[in-house]
Structure 1
Amino acid sequence: MIDNDKAVHRTAKRAAAIAAAVALAGMAVTAGSAIAQAEAPKYGGTVEIGSVYPTISALSWDLADWNWKQNYDTGQVYEHLFAADLSKAKRNGGKYAFQADAWLPEDAIRGELAESWKWTDPLTLEVKLRKGVKFPAKPGVMEERELVAEDVVFSYSRQEASAKKIPTYFDHLSKVEARDKHTVVFRFKEFNAEWDYRFGWGYYSGIMPKEVATAGAANWKNVNGTGPFTLTQFVQGNASTYTKNPQYWDSERIGNKDYKLPFVDKVVLRTIKDEATRNTMLRTGKLDIMEGLRWTAVDELKRSAPQLQWSRWLSYTGQYLALRVDTKPFNDIRVRRALNMAINKQEIVKQYYGGNAELFAYPQHPDYVGYYEPLSAMPDNVKELFTYNPDKARKLLAEAGYPKGFTFKVQVCACSPDHMELLPLIAAYLEQVGVRIQIQPMEYGAFLSAMTTKTNAPGYMMNNGHTNPTTTIRKSFVSGQVWNASQWNDPKFDKRVEEAFELRDVGKRQEALRALTREIVAQAPYIWLPTQYVYTAWWPWVKNYGGELRAGAVRPGPIYARLWIDQEMKKKMGF
């Protein structure tokens, strides 16, 4: 039996301890990042993180598998040529939140393994590597040695030769070569606006030594890079554990003093499929950071754990129901547009999301200044898709030859609680115009495989990263691309995308991407759905952190290397 008096006493004691700790922390906790930045960092301890992908364990450790999540899983270990300049984060007085899944503004990129880089002519880029950067010794894999230019060439060449690579991804390059021990030269066939993203800081640009490939890159026990942490434990469906790399080269300047990184001894990324369990672990201090929380959990957590720090951000993962345009009836634009009009998207924003969503924020994200256009600026044929009009939907269906509607299958990932709840609501709207859906929940691996092998059902409900202003159009709507779930195929559209990528003038490129976005949205290869707001929460003992999520394409390693845990505060708060 539980002694209620003792339980109440323990609760009161912890509350008092929390209040005292917060008072001791004083301005450092309440005044925000400027004060926190002046604190001297504290080394040691473990940071426990519920990731922004909490339901999905690591999918592959081999960079040549071209897995989208690899930078989240390996980015603590494998470094890139470039990374986010975190000194320009909002908590440091800068203008960037560094939350986008794969968008680094040009003025917020720093050299990571690259010490410097320059264009020696319009189609030749020269990259100078940092000297003295070390791969640590890994028993059974490799001896300690310095990173050299041949490692960059090897990593690129292995990616380029992979049967799993994204089509056309490196087609703009003619050759990558080592000029000397610390100089890499990238020779271009033609300019590509995504050059830095594609081989410098993107999803598939990690630098891996050849010794790992020889030992077996798919085995987590062989993973070994120059990053701030080493991978020391992996339990499928449970956690990935990273331990401090004593050989790490980088430092952080705080209060006019340089401190060797990383600060924490360990980073543990938890895989927790149950949402309620994740929230409880955060509330009870078993998680120091929870990177992605649905709005439905926020009010209760703010009541039960008022000391939590918060960041609210518009998701960089758009959501939609892809309609395969290579199958009937979705080869008819009238049907696709009808299904969009049949759904009351304004009501979804207001009632389902409680106002915590934006009606129109995909495929371009509002943060992509110069590329994004609000719905109010869109042409009427786009605005119409976001206006509830079941009568016109029925009329269009009848014109297309479906006066009594039809039935189609929709695949959805069981890993997404939001989609599992939202899809029946969408089904109810569609039934009002005679369209019925058969819902097929799938585990993530099978769900992803269906799309990548182009065997997905006529309807495919998914989240998809905005990525960046150019990739969001290329990966989703250029024929043959992996993430093209609607199987959109328009050679003229493909050509215009290619031409936009070759534009060096940013203003002209933005204009071209705006036009391409307007066109593809009006074609309605998807049922466009609202983009929700997401919350990140962390305890005040997590220092040098302001809710940043990615320092490259879904890559948190440089962020984790710079935060520290005030273990004394944590203890005084009763945790």
Structure 2
Amino acid sequence: MKKTGKTAALALTMSMAVTAMPFGVSAEETDKTVVRINMESEPDNLDPWLSAASDTEAVFHNVFEGLVLFDETGALIPGLAESWDISDDGLTYTFHLRDDVTFHNGKAFSAEDVVYTYESLSGLGGEEALSSKFKNLTSVEAVDDYTVTMTLAEADAAFLQYTRVAVLPKGYEDQSSAPVGTGPFVFEKYVPGQMVVLEKNEDYYDESRMPKIDEAQIYIMGDDSAVLTALQSGQLDAGIVYADSADYLTGDFTVNSSPQNMVQLFALNNSATPFDDVRVRQAFEYAVNKDQIIDGVFAGYATELYSNFSPVMSYFYNDELEDVYTYDVDKAKELMAEAGYEDGFDITITVPSNYQKHVDTAQVIAQQLKQINVNATIEPVEWGQWLEQVYTNADYQTTVVGLTGKLDPNDILGRYVSDYAKNFMKYNNPDYDKLIEEAKTASDEERVELFKECQKMLTDDAAAVWICDPNAIAVTRSDLKGYTFYPVSFIDLSKLYYEE
């Protein structure tokens, strides 16, 4: 397996347009230990229930918490709930809450906030549901001040993972302008187009996650060259850059690199001719040289994939698929001939123009496919058009895009269920659907085997050409330690510290 570095941005970089703070551990004027970092895009909403942007989530995970949290491996760990019980039939969840938590506005956390949260998200409180994830929830009740029970209509092994959602204080209505959570950092201010500032929560309940810095200044900046300049000049303490850009940095920096649980794929519309023929899809598997893409597009900083699953999720990862397809042009030609396409055909690769790495990947693939007489025309489209045309309406032949990682394998592999609304690959296999359905009520051990079988089925059917998991690259000052990667977007500010 080839392992290496990164595509564009994760959630950690710095801004140049910042008030000058001396390059050092603390600012003498404020006597605060400050880290200056960046997010690539403007927050879409400060209210976590209304936000959908991964960049926003990556920052505000520091402010908000759910009943459960997750660690570096993606495993669920206690959060606002110190423990939980699940009934034998999988329908009733009982959460035992911490009794030592205070919201940032001074309100004591209790069961009423959990009930308020889940009634709001599910619509059980009488208002319109805020999240479709909780449509299976039939009741949520406070047994006492620190015990809550939730009942499902149908057992769903993924439900516990959904309880990562932010718990908000009942009666507080200003989340979109002055967000209030329970996390290790308190929201201080947001200056549109410039920055978000978070302060250490001095009253945080978990000493093991108590921040080691006093303040985080998160600047809104996504331009790679500007990030490099800011790092080089000392205006930023950390940043996310392209792999090939990191080589241009001079001075005392640490380059941190890790797969990010993303799947970059060359998607084929399984319902459209000629990709409704598995032999054609398999021919494409053999014809695409993934090593060339990883080395040429990602400067070697990516992990090769063999199904729609990254090895970052090691517990569920099927590691026996590496040799199902290897780069073999002769085998690809043989399959094309068997399918009646010895002379090839023309295709269009519709690619979102705002993701240069996907455009570059499409260009490499177009050249590679010429070897099997396939003439590919690249059609760059705006992101909004791609979402409507490809993601929503599946009106395309092929595309190159990245699918963001999730913590539960059902959310990753469920994208290929035949009746899933966003199954833009148009993969349709009743046996696959059955496996996904079985996994909803299976034991943990059974789920592992079922999801591994799902990965194998996708690979055997060549539902798409999965290319790589582009690595995330975080560049930090050499004395800034603790940067930690997670299988979902999260800049964990609580772990950052300066080495004296």
> Please, what TM-score do these two structures have when normalized by structure 1?
0.71
State the one-letter code of the partner of 2:102. K
Structure 2 counterpart SS, 1:300: coil
- Aligned positions of 1:160-175 closer than 5 A: 160-161=122-123, 165-166=131-132, 169-170=133-134, 173-175=137-139
Q: Paired residue for 1:127?
A: 95
For residues 68 and 494 of structure 1, what CA distance do their matches in structure 2 show? Answer: 29
Q: Paired residue for 1:561?
A: 494
Determine if contact 1:44/1:565 at 8 Å carries over to the other structure: no
Measure how far apart 1:416 and its partner are. 2.7
Determine if contact 2:347/2:376 at 8 Å carries over to the other structure: yes
Seen in structure 2, the aligned counterparts of structure 1 residues 235 and 408 have a Cα distance that, compared at 3 Å, is farther
Q: Deviations over 1:85-109 (max 9, x none)?
A: 5xxxxxxxxxxxx2xxxx5235xx2
For residues 364 and 436 of structure 1, what CA distance do their matches in structure 2 show? Answer: 29
* 1:356 matches 2:316: no
Q: Paired residue for 2:151?
A: 187
Q: Paired residue for 2:32?
A: 44
For residues 397 and 114 of structure 2, what CA distance do their matches in structure 1 show? Answer: 41
For residues 470 and 296 of structure 1, what CA distance do their matches in structure 2 show? Answer: 31
Give the alignment partner of residue 515 of structure 1, picking from 447, 453, 457. Answer: 453
Q: Paired residue for 2:207?
A: 252
For residues 512 and 388 of structure 1, what CA distance do their matches in structure 2 show? Answer: 30
- Aligned positions of 1:64-463 closer than 5 A: 64-65=49-50, 67=52, 69=54, 71-84=57-70, 98=72, 103-105=73-75, 109=77, 111-119=78-86, 122-123=89-90, 124-137=92-105, 144-161=106-123, 165-166=131-132, 169-170=133-134, 173-199=137-163, 201=164, 205-211=165-171, 214-215=173-174, 220-234=176-190, 238-244=193-199, 246=201, 248-253=203-208, 261-290=210-239, 292-301=240-249, 304-305=250-251, 307-360=252-305, 362-374=307-319, 377-378=320-321, 383-389=323-329, 391-448=330-387, 450=389, 453-455=392-394, 457-463=396-402
State the one-letter code of the partner of 1:560. L
Measure how far apart 1:548 and its partner are. 0.6
Most deviating of 365-374 and 147-156? 365-374
For residues 343 and 87 of structure 2, what CA distance do their matches in structure 1 show? Answer: 64
Q: Paired residue for 2:43?
A: 58
Q: Deviations over 1:57-115 (max 9, x none)?
A: 33344444472625324323221112245xxxxxxxxxxxx2xxxx5235xx2x22123
For residues 270 and 230 of structure 1, what CA distance do their matches in structure 2 show? Answer: 17
Measure how far apart 1:149 and its partner are. 1.7
Seen in structure 2, the aligned counterparts of structure 1 residues 527 and 474 have a Cα distance that, compared at 3 Å, is closer
Determine if contact 1:345/1:386 at 8 Å carries over to the other structure: no
For residues 120 and 347 of structure 1, what CA distance do their matches in structure 2 show? Answer: 50
For residues 417 and 51 of structure 2, what CA distance do their matches in structure 1 show? Answer: 18
Measure how far apart 1:163 and its partner are. 6.5
State the one-letter code of the partner of 2:449. E
Measure how far apart 1:529 and its partner are. 1.0
For residues 464 and 406 of structure 1, what CA distance do their matches in structure 2 show? Answer: 27
Give the gaps of 5 or more residues in structure 2: 1-22
Measure how far apart 1:320 and its partner are. 0.5
For residues 210 and 345 of structure 2, what CA distance do their matches in structure 1 show? Answer: 59
Measure how far apart 1:318 and its partner are. 1.6
Structure 1 counterpart SS, 2:427: coil
For residues 61 and 455 of structure 1, what CA distance do their matches in structure 2 show? Answer: 32
For residues 446 and 78 of structure 1, what CA distance do their matches in structure 2 show? Answer: 33
Structure 2 counterpart SS, 1:510: helix
For residues 466 and 113 of structure 1, what CA distance do their matches in structure 2 show? Answer: 24
Q: Which runs of at least 4 in structure 1 moved beyond 6 Å after TM superposition?
A: none
Seen in structure 2, the aligned counterparts of structure 1 residues 83 and 163 have a Cα distance that, compared at 3 Å, is closer
State the one-letter code of the partner of 1:72. A
State the one-letter code of the partner of 2:52. N
Seen in structure 2, the aligned counterparts of structure 1 residues 526 and 269 have a Cα distance that, compared at 3 Å, is farther
For residues 130 and 279 of structure 2, what CA distance do their matches in structure 1 show? Answer: 35
State the one-letter code of the partner of 1:228. P
Determine if contact 1:469/1:513 at 8 Å carries over to the other structure: no
Measure how far apart 1:455 and its partner are. 4.8
Q: Paired residue for 2:11?
A: none
Q: Paired residue for 2:423?
A: 484
For residues 240 and 81 of structure 1, what CA distance do their matches in structure 2 show? Answer: 29
Determine if contact 1:43/1:264 at 8 Å carries over to the other structure: no
Give the gaps of 5 or more residues in structure 1: 1-17, 23-41, 86-97, 138-143, 254-259, 570-575
Measure how far apart 1:185 and its partner are. 0.9
Measure how far apart 1:538 and its partner are. 1.3
Measure how far apart 1:209 and its partner are. 3.3
Seen in structure 2, the aligned counterparts of structure 1 residues 542 and 505 have a Cα distance that, compared at 3 Å, is closer
Aligned pair count? Answer: 469
Give the alignment partner of residue 502 of structure 1, picking from 435, 441, 456. Answer: 441
- Higher helix proportion, which one? 1
Structure 2 counterpart SS, 1:463: strand
For residues 288 and 484 of structure 2, what CA distance do their matches in structure 1 show? Answer: 34
* 1:529 matches 2:467: yes
Determine if contact 1:409/1:438 at 8 Å carries over to the other structure: yes
Structure 2 counterpart SS, 1:385: coil
State percent identity of aligned pairs: 25
State the one-letter code of the partner of 1:282. L
Measure how far apart 1:154 and its partner are. 2.6
State the one-letter code of the partner of 2:272. T
Seen in structure 2, the aligned counterparts of structure 1 residues 469 and 188 have a Cα distance that, compared at 3 Å, is closer
Measure how far apart 1:412 and its partner are. 2.6
Q: Deviations over 1:96-151 (max 9, x none)?
A: xx2xxxx5235xx2x221233234655332212223533334xxxxxx42222232
Seen in structure 2, the aligned counterparts of structure 1 residues 178 and 71 have a Cα distance that, compared at 3 Å, is farther
RMSD over aligned Cα atoms: 3.4
Determine if contact 1:410/1:440 at 8 Å carries over to the other structure: yes
For residues 184 and 418 of structure 1, what CA distance do their matches in structure 2 show? Answer: 46
